[in-house]
Amino acid sequence: MGYAEVSVNSPIAQRRTFSYTIPPSLSIDVGQAVWVPFGDKLLQGIVVELSDYPSVAETREIAGVIDPRPLLSPARVGLARWISEHYLSPLFEAVALMLPPGFERKVLTFISGPSSPPEYDLASLNQEQRHVLELIQQGKIGLKELEKVLGKKKAQTVVSQLVGRGLAVRSYELGPIKVRPKEELYLSLSVKSSEAQQEAARLRGKKAVKQAALLDFLTQQTEPVSWVEVRHKVNCDKAVADALFSKGLVTVQYVGVKRDPLADYCMPLSYPLSLTVAQRSALETIKSSLQGDISLSAFLLHGVTGSGKTEIYLQALAEVVKQGRRGIVLVPEIALTPQTIERFASRFPRKVAILHSKLSLGEQYDEWHRIRDGEFDVVIGSRSAIFAPQPDLGLIVLDEEHEWTYKQSDRPRYHARDVAIKLAELTGAVVILGSATPDVETFYHAQGGDYQLLQLPERVTPSEGASLPQVEVVDLRDELKAGNRSLFSRSLSQAMAKSIACGGQVILFLNRRGAATFIQCRRCGFVLRCKRCEVALTYHFAGDVLLCHRCNYRTAVPRVCPRCLSPRIKFLGIGTQRLEQEVSRTFPQTRWLRWDSDVTKYKGSHQEILGKFRAHEADILIGTQMIAKGLDLPQVTLVGVVSADTGLNLPDFRAGERTFQLLCQVAGRAGRGRLGGQVIIQTYAPEHYAIQAAAKYDYDAFYNKEINYRRQLRNPPFSRLACLTYSQTNDAVCQREAERMKRLITQEIDSRGIADLSLIGPAPAFIHRLRGRFRWQLILRGSEPSALLSELPIPQGWAVDIDPVGLV
Ligand code: ADP
Ligand code: ZN
Ligand code: ZN
């Protein structure tokens, strides 16, 4: 007899699997979705392993098969197990990442009579039992219906009694699927057009102008018209159509439509470009890995924006397709990369699938099934597209691999880069990590030989003004000295005026995150830092104190600047609002737009704002980090970074890296057209290595400094981190629990004698209060923090983040 280890969809299951007997009637495979009894319930599960022996003495039987085809390939089952172990997440949560959208459904219980009922005495049954027996003699009935008749409790008792006596049996079915094929409303006339015209005239007489207009419109049509089109052309709302429908003048029908997220794109076919020397050499190396000639299968493709990385992805994919295999391409944020998607779609016409979380559930459902059936050569998507059921995987591309959006902030808190590397290992696929500013850890691994480094040192087309723009770093300390109290340095305001006068456009970049949290000397730019952790201290209005969010060090705000003795020490960062005011004061004649997450909450608003800016309906675009992403705006001749210091002073050891990456990206937005361009970075810390290196696009200079700091302070990649956050409505309780956990972990470290694990904190989290709950944090640092944590009891209320990307 065979046994199956099953990952069960229950919060109790955690990281465990459970053993079940495979009944002879069922054929079961790894990756298959099954029903299993669990306590007194029947739950969904995924088979993760088959074995000849159970892991416990007594096992129950698998109750049934949900889907005859396995939903997960064996490699993906392996991936789920790795995610669960590595990120300490419940196994089913890891499995669920790879299940078809809408998979998790309720189980419905049905009651019916047994095929051969035993002898029984009717008199021994009470009235309700007899009532139920009568009902089920007519056929099976849902428990829900019985509950409506008898009440919930009573129904369940009676059913249990009847089942116990062998007079009824339970069976289970899936609840209704939440996803349905999408349908669209179509309208047509249900009367002759002559009649409709008469009716329209009558309606006009009664001042029902809209109804008349709609009738007229339909009279002119030869075929049913979709409601979307009608609404657009006649400019009426649904009530107007309803009124005509109820008068019997209009017919309404639903027509199924296939959801195709690429429908809006109009794509001419594109052909492979003939490669530059650097591109060819990179591609040849990747190809030899794809052909199995070299054993190394992970690459870091390092090249500035415009150096031709995407063209390499495209040609590497073409090679994979030629071999009869397929690829997955991850991009940081799909809504911001329509141009990239178009390039893939035009190279592989009708062979590209798009997956991302902003698709409707129905769209995701359709795409999942089509991908599994092998309809696409390439799947493109954000983070979670790494879990697409793409068969015969040959290549995984992570574009902009340094982006933090690749890390999921909710459970399971996986990093798509690490998942991609693991999946490639399990499937034999090749991975390309691409970036202009690689993550310091990735670059370190590439130097160490874990990945092969491929470099594209130059832009492909340095002609046509596409070379990298000039960067000027402005020292804000000189501005105050010269009596300039504006947010714009003299340099920046002159450049803005000039750009606009010459018909160019300006982007003003403000990293709002972290603004108004640190204080800075307005005269010399000095920022107070924690002596132990090196991170900027955060200012708290309540209590007027400075606090280290890593180790909980507190200190009073000094009256004068410790460096230059100026009393103007309490200068807080700037917000977008302040910036908007300043723009309208300094440039009253100009038109400007703002683009940040506050104004782009609804679907499509990105495109709208961007469309307006591209159409030159505004001269200035004010934005946060979102504008740094890969947009091609040829009319932008000036990018101004209003304050480079806000990012620099976030209480996180990655602040320098983050600032460098952002500045490089932002600078890349300027001078993409024939007009050329200029970048101005304003800062109080012009000598900072991250700013210096960004101004020269010098990744090596940045990396060499940064990796030394990391080594000195034993930060990743020289250690791994686990961030433990406890949240609770009461701040004091929260702190006490954090301290208790610290004692527990310290004891554990001591008793096991693990020398290389250290604990930092507890301290209030940078965002101390979130949705009414206070948060305290502990950071565990060492070579394998998750090994220790996996064996500790971690109570409810704690969130564990392994390899966190941001500590704020
Ligand atoms: P990246 O992905 O590094 O930003 P792209 O692949 O987008 O770079 O290339 C930048 C621009 O150069 C694109 O317009 C692309 O079409 C063009 N390009 C890339 N490779 C070549 C080539 N070998 N010959 C001519 N143009 C190229
Ligand atoms: Zn000072
Ligand atoms: Zn500290």
Contact predicate 36/62, CB 8 Å: yes
Structure tokens of 410? Answer: 């909710």
Phi-psi region of 438 (alpha: psi -120 to 50; beta: other; left: phi over 0): beta
Query: Which residue matches tokens 């130059």?
Result: 458
Provide the percentage of residues in the chain whose pLDDT is more than 70: 90
CB within 6 Å of ligand 1 — which residues? 273-276, 279, 303, 305-311, 460-461
Q: Where are the beta strands (DSSP E) in 662-750?
A: 678-683, 720-728
- Among all bound ligands, the one having the nearest atom to the CA of 561 is 2
Model pLDDT for residues 235-268, shown as the tens digit of each residue: 888 888 888 888 888 888 777 655 555 555 556 7
Nearest CA to ligand 1 atom 23: 275
Q: Which of 283, 302, 311 to mutate to test the pocket of ligand 1 (most atoms within 8 A of CB)?
A: 311
Q: In the predicted model, what is the mean pLDDT of the chain?
A: 86
**Which atom of ligand 1 sits closest to the CA of residue 279?**
23
The pLDDT score that the predictor gives to residue 484 is 87
- Cα(314) to ligand 1 centroid in Å equals 11
Structure tokens of 744? Answer: 């527990």
- Cα(534) to ligand 3 centroid in Å equals 7
**Which atom of ligand 1 sits closest to the CA of residue 312?**
6
Structure tokens of 75? Answer: 């490699």
Least-confidence region, from 357-371, 509-523, 677-691: 509-523
Cis peptide before 762 (omega within 30 of 0): yes
- Among all bound ligands, the one having the nearest atom to the CA of 762 is 3
From CA 543, how far away is CA 538, in angstroms rounded?
12
- Cα(279) to ligand 1 centroid in Å equals 10
- Among all bound ligands, the one having the nearest atom to the CA of 713 is 3
- Give me the phi and psi of 775, to 5 degrees please: -135, 130
- pLDDT band for 580, please (50, 70, 90 cuts): confident
Is 80 exceeded by the pLDDT of residue 756?
A: yes
Nearest CA to ligand 1 atom 20: 308
Which one-letter amino acid corresponds to residue 463? Answer: S
Model pLDDT for residues 631-661, shown as the tens digit of each residue: 667 788 899 999 888 888 877 889 999 999 9
Edge-to-edge strands, sheet with 250-256: 225-226, 183-189, 250-256
List of residues 6+ apart from 427 with CB closer than 8 A: 75, 393
- Among all bound ligands, the one having the nearest atom to the CA of 551 is 3
**Which atom of ligand 1 sits closest to the CA of residue 275?**
23
Is 60 exceeded by the pLDDT of residue 666?
A: yes
Terminal CA-CA length for the chain: 53
For the ranges 99-108, 141-150, 278-287, 795-804, the one whose mean pLDDT is highest:
278-287
Contact predicate 218/226, CB 8 Å: no
**Number of neighbouring beta carbons within 10 Å of residue 196:** 21
Q: Quick check: helix, strand or coil at residue 330?
A: strand
List of residues 6+ apart from 66 with CB closer than 8 A: 32, 33, 34, 35, 44, 174
**Number of neighbouring beta carbons within 10 Å of residue 605:** 13
- Cα(632) to ligand 1 centroid in Å equals 13
Q: Which of 280, 310, 456 to mutate to test the pocket of ligand 1 (most atoms within 8 A of CB)?
A: 310
- Cα(567) to ligand 2 centroid in Å equals 8
- Cα(273) to ligand 1 centroid in Å equals 8
- Over range 113-131, report the average pLDDT: 82
Nearest CA to ligand 1 atom 14: 306
Name the residue with higher pLDDT: 356 or 282: 282
Model pLDDT for residues 63-101, shown as the tens digit of each residue: 889 888 999 999 999 999 999 999 999 999 999 999 998
Query: Which residue matches tokens 């960004």?
Result: 694
Nearest CA to ligand 1 atom 10: 306
- Cα(308) to ligand 1 centroid in Å equals 4
- Cα(544) to ligand 3 centroid in Å equals 18
Least-confidence region, from 176-190, 376-390, 417-431, 520-534: 176-190
Is 60 exceeded by the pLDDT of residue 310?
A: yes
Query: Residues with beta carbon < 5 A to ion ligand 3?
Result: 530, 532-533, 548, 550-551, 553
The pLDDT score that the predictor gives to residue 465 is 47
Model pLDDT for residues 427-478, shown as the tens digit of each residue: 999 999 999 999 999 999 999 999 999 999 888 875 544 567 788 999 988 9
Q: What is the DSSP letter of 559?
A: S
Least-confidence region, from 253-257, 295-299, 344-348, 736-740: 253-257
- Over range 741-756, report the average pLDDT: 90
List of residues 6+ apart from 24 with CB closer than 8 A: 1
CB-based burial of residue 10 (10 Å sphere; 0-12 exposed, 13-18 middle, 19+ buried)?
middle
The pLDDT score that the predictor gives to residue 98 is 96
- Cα(712) to ligand 2 centroid in Å equals 27
- Give me the phi and psi of 68, to 5 degrees please: -60, -30
Q: Quick check: helix, strand or coil at residue 245?
A: helix
Q: Which of 270, 312, 460 to mutate to test the pocket of ligand 1 (most atoms within 8 A of CB)?
A: 460
**Number of neighbouring beta carbons within 10 Å of residue 323:** 12
- Cα(535) to ligand 3 centroid in Å equals 7
- Cα(309) to ligand 1 centroid in Å equals 7
Name the residue with higher pLDDT: 420 or 271: 420
Cα–chain center distance at 218: 44
**Which atom of ligand 1 sits closest to the CA of residue 307?**
3
Is 70 exceeded by the pLDDT of residue 134?
A: yes
Pairing of β 378-381 and β 352-355: parallel
The pLDDT score that the predictor gives to residue 288 is 95
> For the chain, what's the residue count?
808
List of residues 6+ apart from 478 with CB closer than 8 A: none
Computed from CA positions of residues 257, 258, 262, 265, in that sequence, does the dihedral angle turn out positive or negative? negative
The pLDDT score that the predictor gives to residue 578 is 74
Q: Which of 461, 464, 672 to mutate to test the pocket of ligand 1 (most atoms within 8 A of CB)?
A: 461
Q: Among 489, 494, 524, which residue's Cα sits nearest to residue 506?
A: 494
- Among all bound ligands, the one having the nearest atom to the CA of 761 is 3
Pairing of β 636-643 and β 678-683: parallel
Q: What is the DSSP letter of 627?
A: G
- Over range 103-117, report the average pLDDT: 80
Is 70 exceeded by the pLDDT of residue 674?
A: no
From CA 520, how far away is CA 557, in angstroms rounded?
11
Give me the DSSP letters along 577-610. HHHHHHHHHH-TT--EEEESTTT--STTHHHHHH
The pLDDT score that the predictor gives to residue 630 is 52
Provide the percentage of residues in the chain whose pLDDT is more than 90: 41
List of residues 6+ apart from 40 with CB closer than 8 A: none
**Which atom of ligand 1 sits closest to the CA of residue 340?**
7
Nearest CA to ligand 1 atom 5: 308
C-alpha pair distances (Å), 352 with each of 86, 257, 320, 327, 787: 31, 19, 14, 10, 40
Nearest CA to ligand 1 atom 18: 308
Q: Helix 309-322 crosses helix 277-290 at what angle (to 10 degrees)?
A: 30
From CA 46, how far away is CA 61, in angstroms rounded?
14
- Over range 99-111, report the average pLDDT: 81
Cα–chain center distance at 481: 45
**Number of neighbouring beta carbons within 10 Å of residue 165:** 14
Query: Which residue matches tokens 């201290």?
Result: 537
Is 60 exceeded by the pLDDT of residue 603?
A: no
- Cα(562) to ligand 2 centroid in Å equals 7
